[in-house]
């Protein structure tokens, strides 16, 4: 593992931060649903009420958003800044994970470049609240988990549980990598005595559960009971369950140009797509994302060959989260796919690092140039349309 | 025994200085762009109010209130967001116009619904916000009268009051839009 100099995290953080900060004052219009979240945050922190909209959303988001409003201003900048900060920190954490996983500078560098310039990550960091935090904290949990597996320090185990608990409190899908981390940990410790496993695992689980539940304290303190909490969870699952479809419709959706990840097929098939899809295509960055699936497959293959369970955990997390989002009956691009981006970038970073020295630097330069080219579209910054005319025309009008 | 203060490395202080520079730079940037953010949010609120106007059917004053009610229901969020934000506090003129436009459109919708229910002279006390709207507009006061029981009523025969409320709402929207770029 290459030594970590003091300036390295800043060298990754500052460009990522600037990419997310520039032009932050521009409102995209009705695309954003801040009106809902800001109101909910106010009602929860003032009265302990969940609602009026999205009452099933977890309270961690409300408390975080209210805190951000108090610290940074109850306006569009204050509401967005926490996403900008956490989105930029997530890039640094992803690079640190790559450094620890692959023990080499190149995968860390390519992961940082891909994730920092990923259009979906940039758009999410500027417009959503809880997904960015959940993704950043899930990555923190993975980093602490890797450190704990390697050095077996209690602090790392507990920080892993803490990060994971808060991540799940923001977005429940963060539990998926958590379950996989637990499974891989049990696999690694399979020859240990049960007492050792319990001594390691129970405090981590305890910290995770406490850091998950503590966000409900304002709600409980205002007179709600545990049976109320269970009723709320049941109703919440019932409502959110309606957002999920079966495998059949999900797989059918993939062969359509609107299909996630396979969206590029629409280009190959030369089918017409509408303006909204153009934006989605830019967000999902098919040129980079098309490499995610083969890179994940390669990472899993190498994890078996090299007997690296932590690589397997990254690959399986990607697949499990991918399956979770594919089954959701809502436009995934616009909602929750952010959490798989860093995992895909990690796999691509590793796969490219196995190429020859010249090819991999060319890939790095090409990825950076492509990301910078798409940046104005992702950030909603007004630019001359001409450089994008060819691309938009091909995506928008061909094959009608 | 004398305690020795541990010496912190140069790298630590470089890191502290860099973090401080990032925080300072962020707050300077936020301060500099805050007026732009305020205008951007106000402009979005004004555009959302324009979208409410699109709910008025071309066959007006004939036809029901349904389409307008839907347009109103779908386009008030950004205006509400502006009103509860600090941007609204920092832009009092725009805030006043946005509030006025929202009030006029909301009252127009209620009076229109009353008209659909065969009530051409609704009492001011029966419609939320109508008293405030009357207090705000002299033209609207001309359409009011007090009946024998002492109740203040609005004359909406031939949809005159709704038409006037929509005109007033449009005027307030335009003022809000102009004010959002100047304030």
pLDDT of residue A119: 83
- The residue behind tokens 């991999």 is A360
Q: How far apart are CA A254 and CA B56, in angstroms?
A: 40
Q: What angle do CA B128, B132, B134 make, to 5 degrees?
A: 110
Higher pLDDT, A103 or A288: A103
Structure tokens given for A149:
């597996």
Q: How far apart are CA B77 and CA A327, in angstroms?
A: 30
- Say if B28 is an interface residue toward chain A (CB within 8 Å): no
pLDDT at residue B66 greater than cutoff 80: yes
Q: Mean pLDDT throughout B48-70?
A: 87
Picking from B30, B47, B84, the nearest residue to A77 by CB comes out as: B30
pLDDT at residue B160 greater than cutoff 50: yes
Contacts of A30 in chain B (CB under 8 A): 48, 77-78
Whole-number mean pLDDT of chain A?
Answer: 83
Picking from A7, A17, A25, the nearest residue to B40 by CB comes out as: A25
Query: Per-residue confidence at A242, pLDDT binned at 50, 70, 90?
Result: low
List the single residue in A with minimal CA-CA distance to B12: A6
pLDDT of residue A274: 47
List the single residue in B with minimal CA-CA distance to A31: B78
pLDDT at residue A371 greater than cutoff 50: yes
pLDDT at residue A157 greater than cutoff 80: yes
pLDDT of residue A270: 52
Q: How far apart are CA A34 and CA A77, in angstroms?
A: 12
Cis peptide before B110 (omega within 30 of 0): no
Query: Per-residue confidence at A394, pLDDT binned at 50, 70, 90?
Result: low
CA distance B112 to chain A (A): 26
pLDDT of residue A355: 81
pLDDT at residue B129 greater than cutoff 60: yes
Higher pLDDT, A286 or A129: A129
Contacts of A74 in chain B (CB under 8 A): 84-86
pLDDT of residue A381: 81
Give the global pTM: 0.88
Q: Mean pLDDT throughout B104-124?
A: 93
- The residue behind tokens 């503590």 is A214
- Say if B8 is an interface residue toward chain A (CB within 8 Å): no
- Say if B54 is an interface residue toward chain A (CB within 8 Å): no
Higher pLDDT, A304 or A38: A304
Query: Which of A370, A353, A350, A369 lies closest to A361 in space, CA to CA?
Result: A353
- Distance in angstroms between the alpha carbons of the first and the last residue of chain B: 66
Of A128-132, B8-12, B84-88, B102-106, the range with the lowest mean pLDDT is A128-132
Q: Is the dihedral of CA A45, A49, A50, A52 positive or negative?
A: negative
pLDDT at residue A56 greater than cutoff 80: no
pLDDT at residue A400 greater than cutoff 80: no
Q: How far apart are CA A109 and CA A287, in angstroms?
A: 19
- The residue behind tokens 């060319």 is A362
Q: Mutation test of the interface with chain B: which of A35, A66, A380, choosing the one with the most B Cβ atoms within 10 A?
A: A35
- Say if B78 is an interface residue toward chain A (CB within 8 Å): yes
Picking from B12, B34, B84, the nearest residue to A77 by CB comes out as: B34
Query: Per-residue confidence at A300, pLDDT binned at 50, 70, 90?
Result: very high
pLDDT at residue A1 greater than cutoff 50: yes
- Say if B46 is an interface residue toward chain A (CB within 8 Å): no
pLDDT of residue A275: 46
Higher pLDDT, B173 or A269: B173
Query: For residue range A3-25, what is the model confidence (pLDDT) as tens digits?
Result: 899 999 999 999 999 999 998 98
* Domain range annotation of chain A: 13-394
- Say if B130 is an interface residue toward chain A (CB within 8 Å): no
Q: Who contacts A135 (Cβ-Cβ below 8 Å, separation ≥6)?
A: A86, A90, A167, A338, A339, A341, A342
Q: Mean pLDDT throughout A122-133?
A: 86
Considering A265-279, A282-296, A373-387, B132-146, the range whose residues carry the highest mean pLDDT is: B132-146
Cis peptide before A169 (omega within 30 of 0): no
pLDDT of residue B171: 95
Contact (CB<8Å) B37/A74: no
Contacts of B40 in chain A (CB under 8 A): 25-27, 76
Q: Mean pLDDT throughout B32-58?
A: 91
CA distance B77 to chain A (A): 6
Query: For residue range A243-291, what is the model confidence (pLDDT) as tens digits?
Result: 665 555 545 554 444 454 444 444 444 554 444 454 455 556 667 777 8
Structure tokens given for A88:
């930029």
3-state secondary structure of B78: helix
Considering A92-101, A258-267, A356-365, the range whose residues carry the highest mean pLDDT is: A92-101
Q: Mean pLDDT throughout A357-370?
A: 91
Query: Per-residue confidence at A330, pLDDT binned at 50, 70, 90?
Result: low
Higher pLDDT, A280 or A161: A161
Query: Per-residue confidence at A345, pLDDT binned at 50, 70, 90?
Result: very high
Of A305-309, A382-386, B159-163, the range with the lowest mean pLDDT is A382-386
Q: What is the ipTM of this complex?
A: 0.85
CA distance B33 to chain A (A): 6
Q: Mean pLDDT throughout B160-178?
A: 94
Structure tokens given for A87:
């989105």
pLDDT of residue A285: 66
Contact (CB<8Å) B40/A39: no
In percent, how much of chain A has pLDDT > 70?
Answer: 82
Q: How far apart are CA B161 and CA B112, in angstroms?
A: 9
pLDDT of residue A186: 92
Contact (CB<8Å) B11/A25: no
Query: Per-residue confidence at B161, pLDDT binned at 50, 70, 90?
Result: very high
Query: Which of A187, A141, A82, A61 lies closest to A343 in space, CA to CA?
Result: A141
pLDDT at residue A351 greater than cutoff 60: yes
Query: Per-residue confidence at A398, pLDDT binned at 50, 70, 90?
Result: very low
pLDDT at residue A79 greater than cutoff 60: yes
Q: Phi/psi at A2 (nearest 5 deg)?
A: -70, 145
pLDDT of residue B137: 92
Contact (CB<8Å) B40/A24: no
Query: Per-residue confidence at A386, pLDDT binned at 50, 70, 90?
Result: confident
Picking from A30, A35, A77, the nearest residue to B33 by CB comes out as: A77
Query: Per-residue confidence at B64, pLDDT binned at 50, 70, 90?
Result: confident
CA distance B131 to chain A (A): 27
Higher pLDDT, A158 or A128: A158
pLDDT at residue A338 greater than cutoff 90: no
Considering A141-145, A293-297, A323-327, A375-379, the range whose residues carry the highest mean pLDDT is: A141-145
């Amino acid at each position: 593992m290459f030594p970590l100099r003091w300036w390295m995290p800043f060298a990754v953080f500052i460009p990522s931060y600037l990419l997310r900060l520039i032009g932050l004052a521009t409102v995209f219009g009705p695309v954003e649903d801040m009106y809902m979240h800001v109101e909910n945050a106010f009602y929860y922190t003032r009265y302990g009420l969940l609602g009026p909209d999205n009452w099933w959303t977890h309270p961690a988001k409300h408390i975080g958003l209210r805190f951000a409003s108090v610290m940074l201003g109850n306006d569009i900048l204050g509401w967005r800044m926490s996403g900008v900060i956490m989105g930029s920190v997530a890039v640094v954490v992803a690079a640190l994970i790559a450094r620890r996983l692959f023990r080499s500078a190149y995968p860390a560098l390519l992961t940082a470049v891909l994730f920092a310039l990923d259009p979906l990550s940039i758009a999410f960091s500027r417009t959503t609240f809880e997904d960015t935090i959940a993704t950043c904290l899930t990555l923190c949990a993975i980093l602490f988990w890797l450190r704990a597996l390697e050095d077996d320090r209690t602090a790392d185990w507990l920080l892993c549980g803490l990060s994971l608990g808060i991540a799940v409190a923001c977005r429940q899908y963060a539990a998926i990598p958590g379950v996989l981390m637990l499974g891989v940990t049990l696999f690694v410790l399979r020859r240990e005595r049960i007492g050792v496993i319990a001594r390691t695992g129970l405090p981590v689980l305890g910290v995770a559960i406490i850091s998950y539940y503590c966000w409900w304290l304002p709600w409980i303190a205002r007179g709600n009971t545990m049976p109320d909490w269970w009723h709320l969870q049941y109703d919440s699952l019932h409502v959110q369950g309606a957002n999920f479809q079966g495998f059949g419709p999900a797989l059918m959706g993939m062969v359509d140009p609107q299909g996630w990840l396979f969206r590029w097929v629409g280009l190959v098939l030369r089918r017409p797509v509408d303006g909204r899809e153009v934006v989605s295509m830019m967000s999902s960055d098919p040129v980079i994302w098309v490499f995610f699936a083969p890179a994940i497959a390669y990472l899993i293959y190498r994890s078996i060959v090299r007997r690296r369970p932590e690589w397997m955990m990254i690959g399986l997390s990607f697949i499990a989260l991918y399956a979770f989002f594919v089954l959701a009956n809502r436009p995934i691009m616009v909602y929750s796919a952010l959490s798989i981006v860093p995992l895909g970038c990690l796999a691509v970073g590793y796969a490219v690092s196995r190429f020859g020295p010249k090819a991999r630097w060319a890939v790095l330069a090409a990825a950076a140039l492509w990301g910078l080219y798409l940046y104005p579209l992702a950030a909603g910054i007004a630019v001359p349309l001409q450089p994008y005319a060819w691309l938009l025309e091909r995506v928008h009008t061909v094959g009608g | 025994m004398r305690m020795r203060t541990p010496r912190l490395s140069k790298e630590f202080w470089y890191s502290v200085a860099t973090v401080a520079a990032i925080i300072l730079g962020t707050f300077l940037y936020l301060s500099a762009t805050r007026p732009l953010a305020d205008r951007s949010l106000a402009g979005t609120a004004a555009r959302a109010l324009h979208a409410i106007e699109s709910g008025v059917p071309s066959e007006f004053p004939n036809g029901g209130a349904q389409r307008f009610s839907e347009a109103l229901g779908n386009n008030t969020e950004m205006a509400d967001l502006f009103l509860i934000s600090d941007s609204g506090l920092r832009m009092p003129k725009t805030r006043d116009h946005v509030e006025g436009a929202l009030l006029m459109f909301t009252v127009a919708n209620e009076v229109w619904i009353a008209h659909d229910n065969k009530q051409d002279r609704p009492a001011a006390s029966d419609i939320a916000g109508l008293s405030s709207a009357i207090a705000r507009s002299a033209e609207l006061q001309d359409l009011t009268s007090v009946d024998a029981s002492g109740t203040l009523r609005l004359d909406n025969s031939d949809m005159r009051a709704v038409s006037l409320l929509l005109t007033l709402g449009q005027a307030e929207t335009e003022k809000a839009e102009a004010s959002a770029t100047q304030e």
